[in-house]
Amino acid sequence: MLSFGSGVVGGSVVVFSAVFTAMEPSFYMLNFMAKGVPTMAIRPLADAMRFMRMGSSFAGLPIRTAHSSETTISYEDGDCDDVSKDNYALVDHGERDLGFCILGSLNVRTTTFTPRNLDLFFTSVSAATVSSMSAVEMEIFTNTQLVILTVLMFIGGEVFTSMVGHYIGTFFVNIFPKDGDKSYHNTQCCVLDQIELKNIDIVTFKESKDEDFCIRTFSSTEINKIYMEDLKYKSFKSLGVVVLFYLLLVQFLGVISVLMYLNFISSANDILKHKGIEPLTFSIFTIVSTFTNCGFVPTNENMLIFKKNSGLLLILIPQALLGNTLYPPVLRFTIWAVGKFTMKSETKYLLNNSKDIGYPHLLSYLQSSLLFVTVLAFIAVQFVLFSSMEWNSGSLRGLNVYQKLVGIFFQTVNTRSTGESVVDLSTMNAAVLVLFIVMMYLPPYTSFFPMVEECRDKRSKKDKTIMDNLIFSQQTYLVIFILLVCVFERKQMINDPLNFNVLNIAVEVISAYGNVGFSTGYNCDLRLKQEGDCQNKWYGFSGKWSDEGKLVLIAVMIFGRLKKFNMNGGKAWKVF
């Protein structure tokens, strides 16, 4: 099996371009726009539906399989160039997910199953949008393909994308100061740090473009303004360094912890050996997936096969929280801790002026505190209900008390976004399932305190366009998506009502919208008509959907990834 390092060399560069194709709309609308850079009009549903139009061009892409030494290329009616064993010429039909092309061009592990083009595209979009909705079993992917998915998940994660947006925003702050005063960028004050501001009337500057010295007279107000603008710019750069440090350190510690656990706990390592998965690959893939809140795991059973490995679950729980719901409070704590040792003026400015910075995850002390309490409260409510309804059920059968407590804790933490699971959702009580649906729907930073920007949408009603009034609310879009799936799967709902029921469809759609990845799966034993060959597979319920239904779910995943840009829709609709 290929090593993780060789897979990186072979695929990471191309995959870096892949994610910009898969996540193109979100990078145009990053939150650095709040710092004074003009924003673009946002139509999330239109951006999502753009990907659905690609469905007609899937057929022409080759798939390389491992049936023999010869390369097997499957075509339907596409127009790909001739493809040799070592060289692939993929025809670019315009907008296309490069990650999907790479996955399709590499060998798969199995010799008895060839994934369909649409399923590979579904998987790559799911990784890029950190949704972990699956239409194929994970163990069909080789080491190299797992590397590709890892890079997609890493770049598609919220911490990374927000960091990229912040660095771009820092560039614009440097080039286009908010107040239009560029003097502090091309001049260097010689005495600001040595003399008290209020006592300075004359300051000597050195121009950056030449070696001449110039003398200007500044008032204390002007000097203070220059000092504050310079401090603000330094604080912008310092925040970028802190976020990068946070992003790398948390995942590095997670990978080391998982590797140490696998080295000392033979039961977990034996599972990987039996499945032919390298410990390093599993550690990096799982930590990146958990921290980015994607939820993919290299095993078919997700974390269900590790439900007795409580130590591994406890390692993953902080990763899920630090990369999502608890990111703002912990980021603020990290900035405070850094300020105790270095960059004291910059960190103090960041902590006291979080709103002016414009970084969406840097919340005020009050907001961070309330968010922290809200996250713990949601986990506690789920923990109590889950324990009371499922303690003696089949989903937790075979576990001791300690393993049950850790497993329930792990499951309730994952409902908010990550989507890793140690239980079979199809066997769970309906009350618990409904609570999970509510948790999946809620945005990551839901709080008891309304964290609404004061300056948001200050336009008067007469300034709003017709399109502003026609934008639906998030709930309306979800209803539309569920209706579309029910229309496309209407035959299955009639012939197989126990699997294809509205509740299971709603779980799948809302899970995709929340970029969670929970699924009830498909059970062949629940079919009313036991006709034909049917094997239970370890992939999501959507894996049994029609092509049209899968395309709708692809649109839902992309729309869910961009939902923060359309959270104020539906304001023109009023119910009496």
pLDDT digits (tens, 9 = 90+) for 537-551: 888 898 889 999 999
CB 542 within 8 Å of CB 519 = yes
pLDDT digits (tens, 9 = 90+) for 411-454: 999 998 788 999 988 888 889 999 999 999 988 888 876 554 44
Distance between CA atoms of residues 117 and 111, nearest Å = 17
* Model pLDDT, residue 77: 37
Q: Which residues sit opposite 203 in a β-bridge?
A: 216
State residue 447 phi and psi, 5-degree precision: -140, 160
* Model pLDDT, residue 373: 93
* Model pLDDT, residue 466: 65
Distance between CA atoms of residues 575 and 573, nearest Å = 7
3-state secondary structure 188-216: EECCCCCCCHHHCCEEEEEECCCCCEEEE
pLDDT digits (tens, 9 = 90+) for 208-241: 444 444 555 566 777 777 778 888 888 888 999 9
Helix axes 143-156, 98-105, angle to 10 degrees: 170
* Model pLDDT, residue 28: 36
Q: Which residues sit opposite 205 in a β-bridge?
A: 189, 214
Q: What is the pLDDT along the chain (576 residues), one digit of tens a residue?
A: 334 443 333 333 333 334 343 443 343 333 434 333 333 333 333 443 343 444 433 333 333 333 333 333 333 333 333 333 333 233 233 333 566 677 666 767 776 777 888 888 898 888 888 888 888 888 888 888 898 899 989 998 999 999 998 888 877 765 555 444 444 444 444 434 444 444 444 444 444 444 444 555 566 777 777 778 888 888 888 999 999 999 999 999 999 999 999 999 999 999 999 998 999 999 999 999 999 999 899 998 889 999 999 999 999 999 999 999 999 999 999 999 998 888 788 889 999 988 888 888 999 899 999 999 999 999 999 999 999 999 988 888 889 999 999 999 999 999 987 889 999 888 888 899 999 999 999 888 888 765 544 444 444 444 556 666 677 788 888 999 999 999 999 999 998 898 899 999 999 999 999 888 888 888 888 888 877 778 788 888 988 899 999 999 999 999 988 887 777 666 666 655
3-state secondary structure 135-157: CCCHHHECHHHHHHHHHHHHHHC
Calculate the CA 245 to chain-centre distance.
Answer: 19
Find, among 100, 23, 110, 95, the residue nearest to 61 by Cα. Answer: 100
Residue 546 DSSP SS3: coil
* Model pLDDT, residue 65: 36
For residue 495, what are the CA distances in angstroms to 490, 491, 498, 522, 541?
Answer: 9, 6, 9, 14, 16
Residue 286 token pair: 């799982």
| DSSP class per residue in 304-347 | GGGTT-HHHHHHHHHHHHHTTTTHHHHHHHHHHHHHTTS-HHHH
Distance between CA atoms of residues 432 and 426, nearest Å = 11
3-state secondary structure 70-131: CCCCCCCCCCCCCCCCCCCCCCCCCCCCHHHHHHHHCCECCCCCCCCHHHHHHHHHHHHCCC
β-bridge pairing 213-217 and 202-207: antiparallel
Residue 412 token pair: 């309730």
Report how far apart the first and last C-alpha atoms of the chain are (Å, whole number).
63
Residue 538 token pair: 């370890």
CB 312 within 8 Å of CB 258 = yes
CB 151 within 8 Å of CB 134 = no
Distance between CA atoms of residues 303 and 403, nearest Å = 13
For residue 274, what are the CA distances in angstroms to 136, 268, 269, 281?
Answer: 20, 10, 9, 15
| DSSP class per residue in 339-353 | HTTS-HHHHHHHHH-
CB 205 within 8 Å of CB 214 = yes
Distance between CA atoms of residues 322 and 245, nearest Å = 13
Distance between CA atoms of residues 305 and 244, nearest Å = 33
Find, among 396, 403, 421, the residue nearest to 296 by Cα. Answer: 421
CB 206 within 8 Å of CB 184 = no
Distance between CA atoms of residues 452 and 154, nearest Å = 29
The position carrying tokens 């096969």 is 305
Residue 435 burial (CB count, 10 A) = 19
Calculate the CA 322 to chain-centre distance.
Answer: 13
CB within 8 A of 264, min separation 6: which ones? none
Q: Where are the alpha helices (DSSP H) in 187-302?
A: 220-264, 266-275, 279-291
* Model pLDDT, residue 46: 40
* Model pLDDT, residue 173: 63
What pTM does this model have?
0.74
State residue 360 phi and psi, 5-degree precision: -65, -20
Provide, rounded to the nearest whole percent, the portion of the chain with pLDDT above 90: 34
Calculate the CA 69 to chain-centre distance.
Answer: 38
